[in-house]
């Protein structure tokens, strides 16, 4: 029992360190997503039907809460390993379970609504682009120019006729206008890479939370039975 307990404690310490780094990675990715230029440009555009703004803020708050839960689970598990405390071990297990309950719906949403974020971002660009195309003096022209500069693209393939006038006034340089990169495709490619990082991080986090729950539960039982064995054969004179 003592040998198994020592092995579990070593594994839990290593797992806690990895979970701590994982929590910091989730916090960093959430911050980059929330304050990154590519995302804030589309989120800050004032439109009545800007559905991306809701997703943008929800992803940030969820990521911060998840990172705090993972870091707390790592700290509690490390303290429980050092002090061999059943209470701290139970609290560490609870934090791992809480993170797992948040990760599973997030992973399911990621795969069942894989195109929702992409569609909402491209819808914002479409609305801004078409408004500028209909009214060249619109204040949206500055927002469209900023999007072109951020994504290094120029206009889109529009079925509504000639768009050369829009691209001439909103593309940041002649070289970019000559390249003629479709902004919808650029947004799709950029988001595909970003969501790849998110999916990888979600998969790793689910694996570590499950392993953390297994180790903390095993350590709790080990501490419980070990303390009972230490008391076996000892009596208190009343």
Q: How many CB atoms lie under 10 A from the CB of residue 183?
A: 24
91: its two tokens = 């609290």
Rounded to a whole number of angstroms, the distance between the first and last alpha carbons of the chain is 31
Chain centroid to CA 125: how far?
23
78: its two tokens = 């490390």
Report DSSP state, residue 18.
Answer: H
Lowest-pLDDT range of 44-58, 147-161, 180-194: 147-161
φ, ψ for residue 158, nearest 5 deg: -105, 140
Q: What does the pLDDT read at residue 179?
A: 54
Q: What is the pLDDT of residues 132-167, one digit of tens each?
A: 888 766 678 888 888 888 888 887 765 554 555 666
pTM, two decimals, is 0.84
């Amino acid at each position: 029992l003592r040998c198994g307990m020592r092995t579990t404690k070593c594994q839990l310490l290593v797992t806690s360190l990895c979970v701590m780094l994982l929590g910091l990675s989730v916090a960093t990715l959430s911050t980059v997503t929330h304050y990154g230029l590519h995302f804030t440009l589309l989120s800050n555009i004032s439109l009545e039907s800007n559905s991306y703004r809701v997703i943008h803020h929800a992803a940030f708050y969820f990521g911060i809460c998840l990172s705090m839960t993972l870091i707390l689970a790592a700290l509690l598990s490390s303290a429980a390993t050092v002090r061999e405390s059943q209470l701290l071990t139970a609290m560490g297990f609870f934090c791992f379970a809480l993170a797992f309950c948040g990760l599973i719906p997030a992973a399911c949403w990621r795969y069942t609504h894989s195109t929702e974020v992409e569609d909402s971002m491209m819808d914002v660009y479409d609305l801004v682009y078409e408004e500028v195309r209909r009214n060249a003096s619109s204040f949206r022209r500055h927002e469209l120019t900023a999007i072109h500069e951020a994504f290094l693209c120029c206009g889109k393939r529009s079925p509504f006729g000639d768009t050369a006038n829009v691209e001439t006034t909103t593309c940041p340089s002649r070289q970019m206008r000559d390249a003629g990169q479709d902004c919808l495709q650029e947004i799709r490619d950029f988001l595909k890479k970003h969501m790849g990082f998110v999916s990888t991080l979600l998969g790793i986090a689910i694996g570590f939370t499950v392993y953390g729950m297994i180790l903390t539960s095993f350590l709790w039982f080990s501490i419980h039975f070990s303390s009972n064995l230490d008391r076996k054969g000892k009596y208190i004179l009343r």
